[in-house]
Amino acid sequence: MPDIVYVFSNKAQPGWIKVGWTSRSVEERRKELSSATGVVEPFQIEAVFEIAAGSGQVAEQLAHSTLSSFKRSKEHFLCAPDIAKNLIATALDRLNAAPFDVQDLYRKIDQLERASTEYSENDRRIRASWDGRREEISKVTRAKIYELDQRFRTSYRWRFGVSWLVLVAFVSTSLYLLWPLYGATSLVVVVAAIVLCRLARSEMPLFVEDPRLYRVERSVLERAERDATQQATEEYNRLKQSIEDAYKKQIDEARTCENDLRRLGLPIRRSRKKSRKR
């Protein structure tokens, strides 16, 4: 097991840090110091530096020498933890020390829990946005198709009504005028009436629309709806993939932090111990 140089802080002594080394688990050392008589608050691990076994004492002396201007007692320094971390990391770089900001490791693990909630909320949000967009596209298309249907049906009613009105008027007039010659003339009258009916149906440009044009227009509207829906779906998939990638990245970072904590012998979850009363 490698030697470890640690940086501890204590809420009961704000601004103070303790710098030492151990060949055991840093968590065991923290608990040992926290259980000492006179310690009101348990120590917190600010940073850990892994070095080769047998180099702990040398690394500690090097760290103390670096922080000599902040020294107040044997292993205690009046220095901000962040400043101490940077100075010690620079000093121990020649020993190929592997620095670990323990508080930062815990923060990344805590962020994963918040990221899980944010991922669920973002997924619901973009899902609701996609459903709303799809419903809006469908609603607009249905309105246009309804308008097209109404226009076609109106033109069809005009065409049908005028045609039969012309037919009835012509037949009635012909029968009234040619009643004596009803025999052979009736067939001629009916044929003429049908011809006039077809002419009436085809010569109504203000009211008559070609059914083929209706089918083409409706097909265009339906195709536009499919294209818009497909575009909205692709946008939804892109957004969903982006938040999934960000979430997976945070999971990977959190797992790396957990592995580092396990290697250092530290608990995966930050301790929530209450302060001890005297």
What is the chain's mean pLDDT, rounded?
Answer: 78
Which of 72-86, 145-159, 201-215 is modeled with the greatest confidence?
Answer: 72-86
Q: Which of 205, 220, 206, 204 is nearest to 148 (CA)?
A: 220
Which tokens is 135 given?
């419903």
Tally Cβ neighbours within 10 Å of residue 70. 19
Residue 164 has pLDDT above 80, yes or no: no
CA–CA distance, 106 with 46 (Å, rounded to integer):
10
Q: What letter does residue 276 receive in the DSSP assignment?
A: P
Residue 82 has pLDDT above 80, yes or no: yes
Residue 102 has pLDDT above 60, yes or no: yes
In tens, the pLDDT along 129-140 reads 888 888 888 888
CA–CA distance, 52 with 64 (Å, rounded to integer):
18
In tens, the pLDDT along 192-214 reads 666 655 555 544 433 445 667 77
In tens, the pLDDT along 25-46 reads 888 899 899 888 778 889 998 8
With tokens 């962040």, the residue in question is: 82
Three-state SS sequence of 80-105: CHHHHHHHHHHHHHHHCCEEECHHHH
> What predicted TM-score, i.e. pTM, was given to this entire model?
0.52
